Structure 1
Amino acid sequence: MKKILETSRTYLRELSTDDAENFFLLNSDKDVLKYTGDKPFESILKTKEFLKNYNPYQEFGYGRWAVIDKSNNEFLGWCGLKFTSELNEVDLGFRFFKKHWNKGYASETAKACVDYGFEKLNLTKIVGRAMKENSASIKVLEKAGMQFVDIIDFEKHEGVLYQLKKQ
């Protein structure tokens, strides 16, 4: 699996079918999914199929990446960039197991992904979205350097749009 970047405590690598169990468990936690609008995977097999067909790395050169703890190789969650062709924009996203919340992993990896997007991928703008009531994710977007742009519809909830443009 291709390692993409490192932070002081983690490394980010491409997701693979070997991540199916962790990915399934992460997306089975109702608290983790609370502000996403996503539904849990039906099974580990369906999760494996999703990961097998996940191809933005080949198509765009980036995507959502597994976040791995350097000290013990534990899968903490994921963080990364996603291109949405309908909006012609790149979005920062992240999701971590609850036991890793409030430890700075999301902020650390989000900032690293934004820097990677501007420095290595030559992106000119990266956006981030969150439900308005999701103060934790909004703090992560702000710590990544993003600025509030607008109130938006986020999965039929009031949401916020943040962005950062390359300096």
Structure 2
Amino acid sequence: MDAYLTTERLVLRRFAADDVELLVELDSDPEVMRFLTGQPTPRSEIEDVVLPAILKVYDEHPGLGTFKAETRDGFVGWFGLQPTADPGTVDVGYRLLRTAWGKGYATEGTRALIAHAFNGLGVQRVVADTMAVNHRSRDVMRRSGLRFEKVYHEHFDDPLPGTEFGEVLYATDRTTWEAVRHG
């Protein structure tokens, strides 16, 4: 399948209906899911909800979606540009296997997606969010060119440890991104 985006070390491609095992492997690690759901995603949920939702975005929002990330050694996780309620804004995110942590892939892939959002898709704003206590993801957001905007609090029926500190929003707009990039 053709690449959606290529960086120095990563190739991002669309997921296919037969990629269930990759998502099960990724979402089965409690550490990977620590700041997301706090527990592994059941295989049935990946088959019946997660993967169908990923495939649906490709059809409904051309150019956006969740893309499997591969290196020369194979699958390392996914990166995504998701639609938001504002058509000029996309949400950037990623999820990587623990074996891929600490190698710079998260920053490399996120930077490439931000550049693609502005240069290839013509969006005006890129946002990302995480739990305030997720310092590693916050570091990736900063290194990728996103800037802290705010802390906010959401209600969760079954909150994860650290939820009491809130969620954080990082973002950049086209003008700021271009100024920093060319400054």
Asked which structure has the greater CA Rg, the reply is 2
List gaps (5 residues or longer) in structure 2: 157-162, 176-183
Which of the numbers 51, 62, 65 marks the counterpart of 1:63? 65
Letter in 2 for 1:51: L
Note the C-alpha offset of 1:39.
5.2
Percent identity, please.
29
Aligned to 1:19: 19
Note the C-alpha offset of 1:154.
5.5
Superposition misfits of 4+ residues, deviation over 6 angstroms: none
Tell me the TM-score normalized by structure 1: 0.89
Note the C-alpha offset of 1:2.
3.6
Aligned length: 163
Tell me the TM-score normalized by structure 2: 0.82
Letter in 1 for 2:67: W
Q: Distance in 2 between matches of 1:92 and 1:5?
A: 14
Letter in 2 for 1:67: A
Matched residue SS, 2:133: coil
Alpha-carbon distance change, 52 to 130 in structure 1, aligned in 2, over 3 angstroms:
closer
- Would the aligned equivalents of 1:26 and 1:77 in 2 still touch at CA under 8 Å? yes
The structure with more strand, counted as a fraction of residues: 1
Note the C-alpha offset of 1:142.
0.7
**Greater mean deviation of Cα atoms: 152-161 or 1-10:** 152-161
Deviations 1:32-72 (A, max 9, x none): 011113753322x5423332443111211111110010x23
Matches within 5 A, 1:123-134: 123-134=123-134
List gaps (5 residues or longer) in structure 1: none
RMSD over equivalenced CA pairs, Å: 1.8
Aligned to 1:162: 170
